Structure 1
Amino acid sequence: MPIDYAKLKSMQFEPIRHTYTRRDTMLYALGLGVGASDPTDTGDLKYVYEKSLVALPMQAVTLAAAPMLLAQPEFGINYKLLLHAEQTLQIHKPLPTEATVIGETSIDEIYDKGAEKGAILYLTRKLFDAASGDLLATMGNVAFLRGDGGFGGKSEGAPKPRPVPADRAADHSVALTNMPNQALIYRLSGDYNPLHSDPEIAAIAGFNRPILHGLCHYGMAGRALIKTLCADDPSRLQRLDTRFTSPVYPGEPLHVEIWNIAAGDASFRVVASERNVIVQDFGRCEVRI
């Protein structure tokens, strides 16, 4: 059964109301490895200790997400072959350490790359503070539908991410903390996909052990970029976009390479250090100067 393009484009997602607490904010940061290297570091403590708690802006990706309606048979998507390909984030106001938020999700477009090449689906989620009505963040989720190409849709017009500079070395290289139990902690922020915790499920998917959530190492990279480009002030982060290019295993060494492009604008990628494999590419980070 091919994708039902018209039904997908007209699908209405119900707004999602989500209340999170200071405990959730601290748990999210712990899931990124914050405090693991030095639990007395004052820069890390502000994300995991209630005394002067600050929320990491990347936490927005875990809040008020719509249920996975795309798995319903009437849409024609082979959900088992769906991959999270890209993530974008624009921060409009600092994320509160605790709040009730409302998420509004919509499908922007679906591009047909061909019967053997799959399809690309673009979704947008807007996150609002329920108390004030303020728009806190706008997120984009790009899904690669590996088994759903050839449905007759348009193939051109998809946004093209900016590549990292190929003509010079990175201006910064920052090691990321990736603990062996990283996925087991991160999943407590709401992503309970057993691919990240169950060895049997991972083996069925073709991996020799559970893999790390893409949004976990996305958040880890964001933490490093805030520290490197924002003087560790998370309120300065305005944009964080990336493309996921290869799986990551909990515990393996990672580092983020950062290029300064212009004032307040940087490119980045994340590399699995021992394997020398790029696991995030086309990264873009914009900060308030």
Structure 2
Amino acid sequence: MPIDPATALAAPPRSAGISWDHKDVLLYHLGIGAGVPATDPDELRYTLESRLQVLPSFATVAGAGQGLVGGLDAPGIDIDLAAVLHGGQSVRVHRPLPARGTAVSTARIAALYDKGSAAVLVLRAEAADADGPLWTSDSSIFVRGEGGFGGERGPSGRAAPPTGDPDRTVERPIREDLALLYRLSGDFNPLHADPGFAALAGFDRPILHGLCSYGITLKAVVDTLLGGEAVRVRSYRTRFTGVVFPGETLRIRMWAGDGAVRVTAVAVERDEAPVLSDTVVEHG
């Protein structure tokens, strides 16, 4: 059996040193669409090293995404990447992320759920440097065809959708080459580049990384409702409810509340097919 629940859950945390610098941050920001228009002062805070701030979602790729990679390579886990879909993601930052850093990332399988036709892995990665904790990241990974092992089904509640008119709505075009650029930050799953591999996974063409949509959406919230100040973000969570194809347009709706922004994202060209749901940005 490709997933051995007892072995996976009993495995000790795996730690690895990670490092990054301004070039990694700049590449990540470009990979989520920053820099348009290229000379816009509001964009230069993502694309020019002398003004650089770091979006908290960068935590998902820091060190080439070792937290996620380390979890999928854990003892008791042997899965086909064509059967993998990213189900949800959360990041909590304990302080603003530096544009250059060295840290230790510790990854483990925090939970393993049996959904019948699929298994869900919750991979937790915690990063800390010499000054203390930096971030905690949870990734929920669906593995099709690996359920039925008799485990707990796990939480199934969904947040009630936001009501009333959104406070802001923005659209973000997805360039046709964006997945090819985003993958240079560390996620080389061929699902996002190879049409033949995408067909094996049931798609007629490569899809955008869910974490790319995740980053695009956070940047939209920061730029629109948080005054462009990434340091105000405390945590960010979402559930991936659909895919985005390069060349499409994300429509992002935001509802501002007390210390939090509720968000939805849909694909405009496919009759507003849901992309992100249960999405909340907590801020100071």
Task: Report the TM-score, using the length of structure 1 for normalisation.
Answer: 0.90
Q: Secondary structure at the match of 2:89?
A: strand
- Of residues 147-156 and 214-223 in structure 1, the stretch that sits farther from structure 2 once superposed is 147-156
Q: Report what 2:280 is aligned to.
A: 284
Query: Structure 1: how far apart are the matches of 2:200 and 2:282?
Result: 39
- Deviation, 1:34, is 0.4
**Which one of the candidate residues 109, 112, 116 is aligned to 1:110?**
112
Runs of 4+ with >6 A deviation: none
Query: Structure 2: how far apart are the matches of 1:241 and 1:197?
Result: 26
- Deviation, 1:160, is 3.7
Task: Provide structure 1 residue ranges, at least 5 long, that are not aligned to the other structure.
Answer: none
Q: Check the 8 A contact 2:191/2:198 in 1, yes or no.
A: yes
Please give the per-residue CA displacement for 1:142-169, whole angstroms capped at 9, x wherever unaligned: 111221221111224x27452322x423
Q: Secondary structure at the match of 1:28?
A: helix
Q: Secondary structure at the match of 1:274?
A: helix
Q: Check the 8 A contact 1:57/1:95 in 2, yes or no.
A: yes
Please give the per-residue CA displacement for 1:227-271, whole angstroms capped at 9, x wherever unaligned: 1221110000111111111111112111111122x3111211111
- 2:30 is aligned with 1:34: no
**Which one of the candidate residues 182, 197, 222 is aligned to 2:178?**
182
- 2:276 is aligned with 1:274: no
- Deviation, 1:77, is 4.7
Task: Report the TM-score, using the length of structure 2 for normalisation.
Answer: 0.92
Query: Structure 1: how far apart are the matches of 2:193 and 2:144?
Result: 23
Q: Secondary structure at the match of 1:35?
A: coil
Q: Report what 1:63 is aligned to.
A: 62
- Deviation, 1:14, is 2.2
Q: Check the 8 A contact 2:8/2:76 in 1, yes or no.
A: no
Q: Check the 8 A contact 1:195/1:202 in 2, yes or no.
A: yes
Change beyond 3 A, Cα 1:51–1:74: closer
Q: Check the 8 A contact 1:229/1:287 in 2, yes or no.
A: no
Q: Secondary structure at the match of 1:188?
A: helix
Q: Check the 8 A contact 2:29/2:47 in 1, yes or no.
A: yes
Counterpart of 2:268, as a letter, is S
- Deviation, 1:99, is 0.9
Change beyond 3 A, Cα 1:79–1:26: closer
Q: Report what 2:149 is aligned to.
A: 151
- 2:91 is aligned with 1:89: yes
Task: Provide structure 2 residue ranges, at least 5 long, that are not aligned to the other structure.
Answer: none
Counterpart of 2:118, as a letter, is G
Change beyond 3 A, Cα 1:29–1:75: closer
Q: How many residues end up aligned between the 2 structures?
A: 280
- 2:6 is aligned with 1:6: yes
Q: Check the 8 A contact 1:3/1:151 in 2, yes or no.
A: no
- 2:237 is aligned with 1:248: no
Q: Check the 8 A contact 2:82/2:200 in 1, yes or no.
A: no
Q: Check the 8 A contact 1:20/1:100 in 2, yes or no.
A: yes
- Deviation, 1:19, is 1.4
Query: Structure 2: how far apart are the matches of 1:233 and 1:6?
Result: 43
Q: Check the 8 A contact 2:14/2:108 in 1, yes or no.
A: no
Query: Structure 2: how far apart are the matches of 1:53 and 1:246?
Result: 32
